[in-house]
Structure 1
Amino acid sequence: MRWKKLGQLYRPESVHPKLASHAANPLAVLLGGDIYRVFFSGRDKQNRSSVGFVDVDIIRREVVYVHDQPVFEHGSESSFYSHGVSIGNCYEADGHRYILFMGWQCPPSGHWRGDIGRLVLEPDLSLRIDGDKPFMPTDDTDPISLSYPWVIERENGGYQMWYGSTVNWDAGNGEMLHVIKHAASIDGHRWQRNGLAVPYSLGIAQAFSRPSVVGNQHDGYHMWFSYRSGSGEKYRIGYAYSRSGETWEPRLDEAGIDVSPSGWDSEMIEYPFIFDHKDQRLMLYNGNGYGQTGFGMAVLTNE
């Protein structure tokens, strides 16, 4: 299993003060044919992220439209997303489409932290917040910080979610311990948190982010995610496998993708988004600078 890189698709331009840099956490929604709307998190000069988008022809690997306005902005100082919005994926429940996101807060006297919020994706593909309070806040199970949710619907009903949770800001080696946990829901609205999903290893894989999951309960589930080792390396993309979706076996050496020898993704690769199009499994991902150099695409091969 190997990912063949198809190149950089979009390098962000400063199209708006709220989208002055970065195109992180790409999320692809099919418009029709081979055209996808790729939402992403861009930043202003204060590093607060808002959501923008470009339209991409996946087959021609070409950006066909760049939207010059944010479609959803970070909130006020008192909101749970005051300093940014990092989007996950899109799922449907009760005939509505939703996008969960990590809402960033950077209090002046404390460490940054996150809660999970929910956006409604309207039929015209505009976005609106689904309530002013976190959809999934920190609690006794996840008391420090939450991140990067990913949701899929089961074939026989119900939903699964994988999300990030901070155990501590420093695991003793100068790197945070931020793990991927599992949650389940009958209706897509109310969730039961089930604890650790992907085992971690200090000094090998301990700072996880942006799980991206494909598969089903018959053939098993495949997860790609970004992670840091805790040994000073920048983000890499890892892989794990699960029969149920609840407990996972990390297989970091089977990720099938790594940094390039040079160029836009030579220092780090992160924030994968996996989707299928015309019998091909594709990955959108970010490179250097946490999305500062935009996003590219790779295709899964059997080589």
Structure 2
Amino acid sequence: MKWVKKGLIFKTENNFEWMRTHAQVPIADKIDEERLRIYFGTRDSQNRTLTTFIEVEANNPQNILYIHDKPILSLGRLGCFDDSGVMPSDIVNYNSKKYFYYLGWNVGSTVRYRVANGLAISEDNGNTFKRVSEGPIMDRSILDPIAVSTQSVLVEKGIWKTWYMSYVKWEIVNGIPEPFYHIKYAESKDEINWDRKGIVCIDFKSNKEAGISRPFVLKEKGVYKMWYSYRTAVNYRSDKSESYKIGYAESIDGIKWIRKDDEVGIDVSEKGWDSEMIAYAYIYEHKGKKYMLYNGNGFGKSGFGYAILDETKKVF
């Protein structure tokens, strides 16, 4: 497959007190055939993450029609799992409701942060969202003892399926704790309570690899397809050869996957906003074309852009 880059869509520029830097982990929700809503995580002056959105022209996402002037969710109450950050994971449209899955985080002490997954639901077409609970719907457990994070969710025949980040360990690298994580699978009958069996879907392909993050899964013609980001453990913040790249895998059952990173069809640019890393891909379809939203340099500090699948190349 081959993705043709179309350029940057949005970068924060101190738009609001709570929107100082970053436009991270973009997710798309089509409002209608003319308008697309893109949710993303942004940071305030205290480096706390809040989620908001922009609306863009569906045929030309670089044409920004609206910038929302407040977060869609406030930070959690002091002491709750999301009192320091609320970042998007996925949005599911089901039974006339919008299910907004997000990760919440706290500032850590022995390690830099702690994360868990939450859920908020909208019954007014995304104008407002309400948490299902002040607590997380998925947190560290016997099977995920360190932490869990961003997830992708599909609903099939009444079964909710999720592919989520599971932290394997924190390890001291160059004098600081660094997280290691891969992708696991779980199911639910009610979108809230998840049956986890410790199933690893995408694991490290070498001893050098340390982070496999931000899964996005779709199903097409009986095949599950996943995009994710992967990096090493050393110097991934400063060395483009070690930093995040986008990977790709396929599966027949959604559980056993074959990595096909060399077929992903997109890489860092020679220069510009996505020349050091590319990460956090989200795929959507509009008028028969497949679009990819993704972040570039600085884990979203340089903003997010998009690419369109070249259908004349190998069909994925």
* 2:288 equivalent to 1:279: yes
Distance (Å, rounded) in 2 between the aligned partners of 1:245 and 1:167? 21
* Amino acid of the structure 2 residue aligned with 1:214: L
Alpha-carbon offset, residue 171 of structure 1: 8.6
- Listed one character per residue, the Cα deviations across residues 213-272 of structure 1 (whole Å, up to 9, x for unaligned) are 1114x5211111111033531111111111111121111111111110000111111111
Asked whether the equivalents of residues 107 and 114 of structure 2 are also in contact (C-alpha less than 8 Å), the reply is yes
Equivalent AA in structure 2 for residue 167 of structure 1: V
* Paired position in structure 1 for 2:200: 196
Distance 2:185 2:179 in 1: 19
Greater shift, 167-176 or 62-71, is seen at 167-176
User: What does 1:1-20 align with in structure 2 at a 5 Å threshold?
Assistant: 1-20=1-20
- Return the offset for 1:40: 0.7
Tell me the amino acid that sits aligned with residue 160 of structure 2: Y
Which residue pairs with 1:214 in the alignment?
Answer: 218
**In the alignment, which residue of structure 1 is the partner of 2:226?**
223
Per-residue CA distance 1:19-54 (angstroms, 9 max, x = gap): 111111111111112311111100011211001111
Q: Any unmatched runs of 5+ in structure 2?
A: 236-241
Conservation of the 8 A alpha-carbon contact between 1:203 and 1:231? no
In the superposition, relative to structure 1, how do residues 58 and 204 fare at CA in structure 2: closer, same or farther (>3 Å)?
farther
Correspondence for 2:39: 39
Give the CA deviation at 1:63: 0.8
Confirm or deny: 8 A CA contact 2:98 2:125 kept in the other structure.
Answer: no
DSSP-derived class of the 2:108 partner: coil
Question: Of 147, 150, 153, which aligns to 1:151?
Answer: 153
Determine helix, strand or coil for the equivalent of 1:285: strand
Aligned ranges 1:1-303 → 2 under 5 Å: 1-61=1-61, 62-93=63-94, 95-108=96-109, 110-125=111-126, 126-154=128-156, 156-170=157-171, 176-194=179-197, 195-216=199-220, 218-232=221-235, 233-301=242-310, 302-303=312-313
Of 227-236 and 241-250, more deviation after overlay is shown by 227-236
Q: Deviations over 1:128-156 (max 9, x none)?
A: 222111111211011111110110112x3
Deviation for aligned residue 1:206? 2.9
Unaligned runs of 5+ in 1: none
Identity, % of aligned positions: 35
On the 8 A contact 2:97/2:125 being kept in 1, the answer is: no
Contact 2:173/2:233 (8 A) holds in 1: no
Q: Distance in 2 between matches of 1:222 and 1:212?
A: 8
Q: Cα RMSD (Å) of the superposition?
A: 1.9
Give 2:153's aligned amino acid: V
TM-score (norm 1): 0.93
Give me the TM-score of the superposition, normalised by structure 2.
0.89
After TM superposition, the structure 1 stretch with the greater mean CA deviation from structure 2, 122-131 or 219-228, is 122-131
**AA aligned opposite 2:38:** V
Question: In structure 2, what is the Cα distance between the partners aligned to 1:239 and 1:166?
Answer: 20
Q: Which amino acid aligns with 2:105?
A: W
CA contact (8 A) 2:42 2:50 kept: yes
Distance 2:192 2:50 in 1: 24
Mark the CA change 1:138 to 1:192 in structure 2 (over 3 Å): closer, same or farther. Answer: same
CA deviation string 1:56-112 (max 9, x = no partner): 113123111112222223224311012211211111455432111111111345441
